[in-house]
Chain A
Amino acid sequence: MPYGYTGNILHVNLSSKKHWIEHPPENFYRTYWGGRALALYYMLNKIKPHTDPLSPDNLLIFAPSVITGTPAPAVPRYTVCAKSPLTGAQGEAEAGGWWGPELKKAGFDAIVIKGSSKTPVYLWIKDGQVEIKKATHLWGKYTGTTQKIIKEELKDDKVRIAQIGQAGENLVRFANIVNELKHFNGRNGLGAVMGSKKLKAIAVRGTKPIELYDKEGVSQITKEITKRVMDNPLSRDLRELGTPAVVRGLYEAGCLPSYNWTTGYFKEGENLTAETLNKTILKGTKGCYACPIRCKRVVEVDEPNFKVDPAYGGPEYETIVSLGSLCGISDLKYIAKANELCNKYTMDTISTGMAIAFAMQCYEKGLLTKKDTRGIELTFGNKEAVLKMIEKIAHREGLGDLLSQGSYLAAQKIGKGSKKFIHQVKGQEIPMHDPRLKTGVGLQYALSDYGADHMKAAHDPFFKDKDSVGIKEMKGLGILEPVSPTDIGEKKVTLFKLLDIYWTVFDILGVCDFGYVPRSVGTMEELLEIICAATGWRTTWFELMQVGERSINMARIFNYREGFTSKDDTLPEVFYQDFKGGSLDGQGAINKKDFKKAIRLRYELMGWNPDTGIPTPAKLIELGLDWLIEEVSR
């Protein structure tokens, strides 16, 4: 009898409307564990190279892990994977909330979806039973409306629903997937894949607890970590200010991404801080399954002619910047509205903000005109214009249709040198953390298999000093020496090789980085204890790091098959230039030659060909991926 996991993987073919349940052996779970690792197994085996991401042949995979759904703190996350319509690469996004644990309780470790329905449908999964239900009446509805209708028709308010809004239906290439209206598989356009399959939602409900190897053991560890999390200053900051806490430091230092990355200086930055948000529009806080931190913001505006619905949560740091300073906007009310619209339509707020900021710069430089915008004065700081553009992108109208393809494809169509105003890696717009201050984050942007992402490793400042939490608490990985956040030498490359794999393990296991070292107080040893108590597996960090590394190599090969090369492991040009304006004016440029050298060293440390970045056969054998050697031998 399996513990921690169910032993059931649900396969659904939406073309034939059939489903079946696979029961992989224990060694399968011990090799792939869940999340992206498990998903990549199916992607490499079932998705043919060069498959159109929006065709029925693409897979859409929902995967929690072998420990998701246990009561251990901050382990609520699950992964969605598919070939990305935004990047054409391996697509992946993790979400918190309650849906992943509920899927486990409903009896499944993952759902692998292929095919495409002719008419809109939703999946209803309850205690091992699966039903494909009509969703024609839900198509075109806001996420809030859809959730309400599904709960009513299933006559169960405890149903957890992952779903898409109109952006997903309309195949916006950065549409995302939401559960409980405010927890997102945010990046890579996976909502468009769901839309292409005419799959509006997946409703799950489980009434049976997950079988645990040592229930008392899990309970004991949970109590210990929870107590320390509650006392931890960083956790308290997250609880009181949420991720927007980051805004103040960055704006005061002059490195808050602003005006489409043309400067880090944003004069009205005070208006965007977490403290201002708390004083003006905060209504409350929310958390994820079994999490004591409650970092999620809930905001509300209730004015006669301007309302923001608290049902859709509130803006994170990324959203405040991407739909705020990046577009020259300093009014939190409007940013909250923009966030609400993106959430109703299910659009990634980072890519949305980046696409609009790009269009604003094109407009101000004369590359787009009022004719292109159909009368919208698309200048930086025009907050009404941002709201209008979100509507147009979601419905793919006019310029919105062009931007719905992502800024990379939009720049190709606009031409006229507009390419220099986009900031992306592998076609995905960069998040709101500046690598000039954290070069390890830059390495991760460049090397990420699914395009630029800020959640690919712990950030550099946690390793800056001998007393830093990363140095004190992660010696078990061989991390012994501090490295400056702006260093880009050998020590940094070595550190971030380890952090990349470590963070990938978090993604695979569904661990929230706000709960464990270096960002919080759950230790590496306690994570092993949780796994053992949940599954009965006496694992080690050696085994877990191999699992993480295995998935990185699998993703690398998936992308290689799709035509990605070492040339795609780059940073946007803006980061090779100094900051402009503010306290850091004239400083900060990353040395391009040093950065390229760092990438090459990273390839070598990973056991990849230093010229091509392709995994060597020996590395694949080491990781038990000999079945992929043929892919790299072509």
Chain B
Amino acid sequence: MKIIIKLEGYLKYKYSSNILESNYSKPVTVHQVLKDTKISSADVFFIKVGDLIVKEDYLLTESAEVKLFPIIGGG
């Protein structure tokens, strides 16, 4: 299955891309996907899969787009 990681906000500058792709042969957690793509959890505030806001332990069982939103501060 194909997991597309969509990087929002400053994440796209930090990780030098808007979109990353990973392929898996079996279900995988978002946490593992972040680890495999070397994205630090420290940078991520929200994770969205479809219409759901999920945590890193969310299990991806089929091809999906995972949107990562950066931490948000005041300003």
On A, residues with C-beta under 8 Å from B are 233-234, 236-238, 241, 243, 245-246, 248-250, 252-254, 295, 316-317, 431, 433, 441, 454-455, 458-459, 461-462, 464-469, 471, 485, 513-514, 518-519, 583-584
B31 part of interface (Cβ distance < 8 Å)? no
A438 to chain B, nearest CB (A): 8
Query: Is A248 a contact of B69 with CB atoms below 8 Å?
Result: yes
Q: Are A433 and B53 also in contact (CB < 8 A) when A253-B48, A461-B45 are?
A: no
Residues facing A in B54-75 (CB within 8 A) are: 67, 69-75
Query: Is A254 a contact of B53 with CB atoms below 8 Å?
Result: yes
Q: Within the complex, which residue of A236, A462, A465, A471 is in contact with B73, where a contact is CB–CB below 8 Å?
A: A462
- Interface majority SS (helix, strand, loop, mixed), chain B: mixed
Query: Is B75 a contact of A317 with CB atoms below 8 Å?
Result: yes
**Complex Cα distance A482/B45, Å?**
14
Q: Are A249 and B46 also in contact (CB < 8 A) when A433-B74, A455-B74, A519-B73 are?
A: yes
User: 8 A–B contact pairs at CB < 8 A?
Assistant: A246-B72, A249-B46, A249-B70, A252-B48, A458-B74, A467-B40, A471-B42, A485-B45
**A residues near B70, Cβ cutoff 8 Å:** 237, 249
**Complex Cα distance A316/B75, Å?**
8
**Complex Cα distance A518/B75, Å?**
13
Q: Are A237 and B10 also in contact (CB < 8 A) when A249-B45, A583-B51, A584-B53 are?
A: yes
Chain B residue, CB-CB nearest to A519: B73
Chain A residue, CB-CB nearest to B52: A583
**Complex Cα distance A252/B42, Å?**
20
B35 part of interface (Cβ distance < 8 Å)? no
Query: Is A467 a contact of B42 with CB atoms below 8 Å?
Result: yes
Q: Are A464 and B42 also in contact (CB < 8 A) when A254-B53, A316-B75, A455-B74 are?
A: yes
B19 to chain A, nearest CB (A): 15
Contact with A along B14-34 (1 / 0, CB 8 A): 100000000000000000000
**Complex Cα distance A236/B12, Å?**
10
A49 to chain B, nearest CB (A): 32
B37 part of interface (Cβ distance < 8 Å)? no
Query: Is A469 a contact of B42 with CB atoms below 8 Å?
Result: yes
**B residues near A237, Cβ cutoff 8 Å:** 9-10, 13, 70
Query: Is B73 a contact of A461 with CB atoms below 8 Å?
Result: yes
**B residues near A248, Cβ cutoff 8 Å:** 8-9, 69
Query: Is A583 a contact of B48 with CB atoms below 8 Å?
Result: yes
B34 to chain A, nearest CB (A): 11
**Complex Cα distance A238/B10, Å?**
8
Query: Is A252 a contact of B74 with CB atoms below 8 Å?
Result: no
Query: Is A252 a contact of B71 with CB atoms below 8 Å?
Result: no
A3 to chain B, nearest CB (A): 31
Chain A residue, CB-CB nearest to B53: A583
Interface size for B (C-beta < 8 A) is: 23
Q: Within the complex, which residue of A233, A433, A468, A485 is in contact with B10, where a contact is CB–CB below 8 Å?
A: A233
Query: Is B13 a contact of A458 with CB atoms below 8 Å?
Result: no
Query: Is B69 a contact of A253 with CB atoms below 8 Å?
Result: yes
Q: Are A249 and B72 also in contact (CB < 8 A) when A461-B45, A469-B42, A583-B53 are?
A: yes
Q: Are A514 and B72 also in contact (CB < 8 A) when A248-B9, A465-B40, A583-B53 are?
A: no
Query: Is B8 a contact of A441 with CB atoms below 8 Å?
Result: no
Query: Is A253 a contact of B13 with CB atoms below 8 Å?
Result: no
A233 to chain B, nearest CB (A): 4
Query: Is B14 a contact of A461 with CB atoms below 8 Å?
Result: no
**Complex Cα distance A253/B51, Å?**
9
Query: Is A462 a contact of B71 with CB atoms below 8 Å?
Result: yes
**Complex Cα distance A63/B31, Å?**
48
**B residues near A243, Cβ cutoff 8 Å:** 75
**Complex Cα distance A236/B13, Å?**
8
Query: Is A461 a contact of B48 with CB atoms below 8 Å?
Result: no
Query: Is B72 a contact of A467 with CB atoms below 8 Å?
Result: no
Query: Is A461 a contact of B52 with CB atoms below 8 Å?
Result: no
Query: Is B9 a contact of A513 with CB atoms below 8 Å?
Result: no
B20 to chain A, nearest CB (A): 15
**B residues near A295, Cβ cutoff 8 Å:** 75
Q: Are A465 and B42 also in contact (CB < 8 A) when A236-B10, A246-B72, A248-B69 are?
A: yes
**B residues near A246, Cβ cutoff 8 Å:** 72, 75
Q: Are A234 and B46 also in contact (CB < 8 A) when A461-B72, A465-B40, A513-B74 are?
A: no
Q: Are A250 and B72 also in contact (CB < 8 A) when A233-B14, A236-B13, A583-B53 are?
A: yes
Q: Within the complex, which residue of A233, A459, A466, A469 is in contact with B72, where a contact is CB–CB below 8 Å?
A: A459
**Complex Cα distance A15/B40, Å?**
60
Q: Within the complex, which residue of A238, A249, A466 is in contact with B69, where a contact is CB–CB below 8 Å?
A: A249
**Complex Cα distance A248/B46, Å?**
11
**B residues near A469, Cβ cutoff 8 Å:** 42
**B residues near A431, Cβ cutoff 8 Å:** 74
Query: Is A233 a contact of B73 with CB atoms below 8 Å?
Result: no
Q: Within the complex, which residue of A236, A466, A513 is in contact with B75, where a contact is CB–CB below 8 Å?
A: A513
**Complex Cα distance A253/B52, Å?**
8
**Complex Cα distance A192/B73, Å?**
29
**A residues near B72, Cβ cutoff 8 Å:** 246, 249-250, 433, 459, 461
B37 to chain A, nearest CB (A): 15
**Complex Cα distance A584/B55, Å?**
12
**Complex Cα distance A584/B48, Å?**
11
